Structure 1
Amino acid sequence: MRKPVQVAATASALALVLAACSGGDGQDEDAGAADGPVTLDYWAWGTAQKPMVDAWNATHPDIQVKHTDAGGGTDSSAKLVTATRAENAPDVAIVEYNTLPAMIVAGVAADISEHADGLESEFAPGVWNQVTFDGATYGVPQDAGPQALTYNKARFDELGIDVPTTWDDFAAAAEKVHEADPDAYLTTYAPAEFGGFAGYAQQAGAEWWTVDGDAWTVDFDDDASVAVADYWQDLVDRDLVLAEPMLTPEWNAKVNKGEVLSWPAGLWAAGVLYGVAEESAGDWAMAPLPQWTEGEDAVGFQGGSAVVVTSSAEHPEAAAEFARWMSTSDEAAAAQIEQGQYPASLAGQELTLESDPPLLMPKQEDYWEIAAEITKNTIPEISWGPNVNVASSAFQDAMSKAVTDGTPLRDALTATEDVVVADMEKTGFEVTQK
């Protein structure tokens, strides 16, 4: 049974580092000081971003935004650090919640507390806590990514597969799918999906980083995480899941052919799948994520992101205004909802209940009601360490090697922990391992 998660705030252990990162940089605080319209560079991925930016530009002639897709969460964060060091970072960017502490430590995300009046009340406490550290605000939550099961209902019906409610059911369904159609797999075990595995492990009770005062405990190979690794190990070994990277041309083709039948991932999965398999729209549906213990309903976050003003912004006030609008306006929320992204704001979440289902599953009239229920069951107060970027890279390397070499997936967790601890100690954190 999953134990309650009581994770201490990250703020105390980051405080000394943040003190060196959060000071002003002398940039122009007055957007009106520029001659003519202000132009902001905005880095963000996902199908919802372009319509959101287009809606902003149509109604804000004095502050125009240039949108660039700099890659997904891991790629974008790495590029942000490099661009900040080279002094050519964008003014505004999307950063996943789990990488925000690292972006603060790296000096990428600016303290926008002076522009955040009234924002806290727009969000549930657990979401707002993802962007606040040591009493300062470093971003505006844009979307929430509680995990769910997005599945090809047409193929499920064709093969006689019931929607699994437990992970044991999920394994049985994987076997049934592959027996019925040897070319088809229930899902993918993608070794590079750090966020996905983290969500499964959190659901099982894992706490990879905890902090007491200034002392960190790092525990990637705890019993819960090892049990999750062993679960996927069994499915990989029996060739019941597709063990390969996702969102490649090859993987996209298999999704389009109905050979990959589900994706346990954040609620944003509907938008991503629509982008790669638009012709299958109408075949898909969403259900709650399977549970490790029957009768429980907890789920972890996979992704979810905030709009941050970077320390490189020439017009931070204008940038903060844009960040606020992108995360709290009805116009932005409507664009998110259409693409299947679940808004982080309370108003945006209320708006979903009056909205059509995402483009991927236009027939599922109860989509947003199910999403709201899932969100209520999201594990609160999950804290991430100060070097999630290092952990993600180490996890991807170790898991990919394990899948390629046929070595135990559980060993990849230990290898990841070793890299994370060494990096934190090198940076100056006090770290213990269980």
Structure 2
Amino acid sequence: MRIRPLVAFSATAVAIAALSGCSAAGGDSDGPVTLEYWAWAAESQSVVDQWNEENPDIQIKYTDAGGGDDSSAKLLTAARAGNAPDLALVEYTTLPSLIVADVPLEITDYVSDVQDAFTEGTWEQTTFDGAVYGVPQDVGPMAFVFREDRFAELGVPVPTTWEEFRASAAAVKAADPNTVITTMPPGEFGFFAGVATQAGAQWWAIDGEEWTVGIADEASLEVADFFESLAAEGLIQTEPLLTPEYNAAVNAGTILSWPSAVWAPSVIESVAPETAGKWAMAPLPQWTAGDKAVAYQGGSAVVVTKDSEHPEEATKFAAWLNASEEGNELLINTQSLYPASTVGQEMAESNDPPSLMPQQTDFYTVAADIASDTIPVTWGPNVNLAKSTFEDELTKAIRNGTPWRDAFIATQEAVIADMKETGFPVSNG
């Protein structure tokens, strides 16, 4: 499954129109086609209702699949039983394992003409060995969300590089010993994968059938050393996010930032609504000054499963939802998602900023600029094992005062051992 970009052939609007003229193999010409769709995003039913009203010949039946790892597990179980839905929303991190399990259908021929609605980095999130397995829906380009008021109060500059981040963290501690710039707990596997990718790492890579695991490559180990040094100096915390203690600190203004992604404002507002108007978003600090590319943290795509008897109709819905202006308007205004398509990102620029930061009128312009230069992350077939091992090993390292890089090395060893046991050829280890 070598990841590489495909070639776009025509405009998105033409492609979606063309898809509407398709008739599915095995389709029922005597009545409307009904497709099962599993997802979890807020207000998905109202989005489906609008589609159903406008498309009487292709009706969508929506099921809330719960989201996260649970939804992928449910999808895999259903596929093994031969009764998977026609379409399902899946996170990018779980897509490779589902492809290995033969769950999603290759839809290259159905969607090649909508590729130009997405950046190359976004499209590559669903493209494996030159084949496309999903239509990207939302993305989480990494960003720096921070307490603008407290940075100004303490006279601390907003960092543009990670070395500046270290200096800002030290300045925060010096100005207010009861305040910390951020917390980076072991459970934030996606964050560490993202900043390692930003530094040049590839935690999984594949050439033909052979995998390479890079969780403990030199770039990743240098990232481990950097954040370990911040924690050792007391410049960052390592306590979990979104606990009662964390939420209290965010409300009190004693945790000043969350290096995460463009979706973070809604999460912060859910736990600290009274702090609205005090936050802002900036690009994520860089390892090399002037190199603005960032990885993704989070995001999902709509796949068509191999159990679907109507793949062309299913793909038509996925393309409408994620690549058309109408679909993207619903993603933005109804579901509060940051769209994967450049069409949606451009549309979002005219929207009001998130209610957490109503004063930042250029929020979506900043978000679009961040999203324009992204580094695709290649996820492997055993991400769940990697996540649990990484959290356990890094927790142990923090508790015992041992090097953080040992946690990265132990995770790589566990991932390689598991892949070999499962039958994947691995070039290293």
TM bucket (normalised to shorter chain) is 0.7 to 0.9
TM-score, structure 1 as length reference: 0.83
Change (3 A) 1:351 1:405: same
Q: Which moved more, 1:246-255 or 1:142-151?
A: 246-255
Residue among 360, 364, 367 paired with 1:368: 364
The residue type paired with residue 329 of structure 1 is S
The residue that corresponds to 2:147 in the other structure is: 152
The residue that corresponds to 1:433 in the other structure is: 428
C-alpha contact 1:270 1:340 (8 A) present in aligned 2: no
1:365 CA displacement? 1.5
The residue type paired with residue 228 of structure 1 is V
Residue among 407, 416, 422 paired with 2:411: 416
**Whole-angstrom CA distance in 2 between matches of 1:387 and 1:405:** 27
Q: Which moved more, 1:364-373 or 1:316-325?
A: 316-325
1:41 CA displacement? 4.1
Change (3 A) 1:126 1:410: same
**Whole-angstrom CA distance in 1 between matches of 2:308 and 2:178:** 50
**Structure 1 SS opposite 2:289:** coil
The residue type paired with residue 257 of structure 1 is A
Alignment of 1:323 onto 2:315: no
The residue that corresponds to 1:295 in the other structure is: 290
Return 5+ residue gaps in structure 2 as ranges: 5-23
C-alpha contact 2:331 2:338 (8 A) present in aligned 1: yes
The residue that corresponds to 2:223 in the other structure is: 228
1:370 CA displacement? 1.7
The residue that corresponds to 2:342 in the other structure is: 346
**Structure 2 SS opposite 1:187:** coil
Alignment of 1:30 onto 2:43: no
C-alpha contact 1:268 1:340 (8 A) present in aligned 2: no
**Structure 2 SS opposite 1:297:** coil
Alignment of 1:66 onto 2:58: no
The residue type paired with residue 170 of structure 1 is F
Q: Which moved more, 1:293-302 or 1:309-318?
A: 309-318
**Whole-angstrom CA distance in 1 between matches of 2:290 and 2:307:** 48
Q: Which moved more, 1:173-182 or 1:366-375?
A: 173-182
The residue that corresponds to 1:16 in the other structure is: none
Change (3 A) 1:407 1:319: farther
Change (3 A) 1:334 1:220: same
Return 5+ residue gaps in structure 1 as ranges: 1-7, 12-26
Change (3 A) 1:367 1:58: same
**Structure 2 SS opposite 1:210:** strand
**Structure 2 SS opposite 1:126:** helix
**Whole-angstrom CA distance in 2 between matches of 1:302 and 1:31:** 40
C-alpha contact 1:52 1:332 (8 A) present in aligned 2: no
- State the identity %: 49
1:285 CA displacement? 0.8
The residue type paired with residue 270 of structure 1 is P
The residue type paired with residue 282 of structure 1 is G
Question: CA-atom RMSD, angstroms?
Answer: 2.9
Change (3 A) 1:33 1:394: farther
Change (3 A) 1:337 1:412: same
The residue that corresponds to 1:392 in the other structure is: 387
1:312 CA displacement? 4.7
Alignment of 1:9 onto 2:12: no
**Whole-angstrom CA distance in 1 between matches of 2:399 and 2:308:** 43
1:348 CA displacement? 1.0
Change (3 A) 1:93 1:404: farther
**Structure 2 SS opposite 1:343:** coil
The residue type paired with residue 261 of structure 2 is G
Change (3 A) 1:423 1:154: same
Aligned residues: 405
Residue among 76, 80, 88 paired with 1:81: 76
**Whole-angstrom CA distance in 2 between matches of 1:348 and 1:114:** 23
The residue that corresponds to 2:354 in the other structure is: 358
The residue type paired with residue 172 of structure 1 is A
C-alpha contact 1:270 1:341 (8 A) present in aligned 2: no
**Whole-angstrom CA distance in 1 between matches of 2:29 and 2:268:** 41
1:297 CA displacement? 1.9
The 5 Å alignment of 1:199-210 reads 199-210=194-205
**Whole-angstrom CA distance in 2 between matches of 1:90 and 1:386:** 22
C-alpha contact 1:52 1:331 (8 A) present in aligned 2: no
Change (3 A) 1:331 1:56: farther
**Whole-angstrom CA distance in 2 between matches of 1:58 and 1:28:** 25
The residue that corresponds to 2:39 in the other structure is: 43
1:314 CA displacement? 6.7
1:52 CA displacement? 4.9
1:425 CA displacement? 1.3
1:79 CA displacement? 4.2
**Whole-angstrom CA distance in 2 between matches of 1:414 and 1:357:** 41
C-alpha contact 2:2 2:130 (8 A) present in aligned 1: no
The residue that corresponds to 1:247 in the other structure is: 242
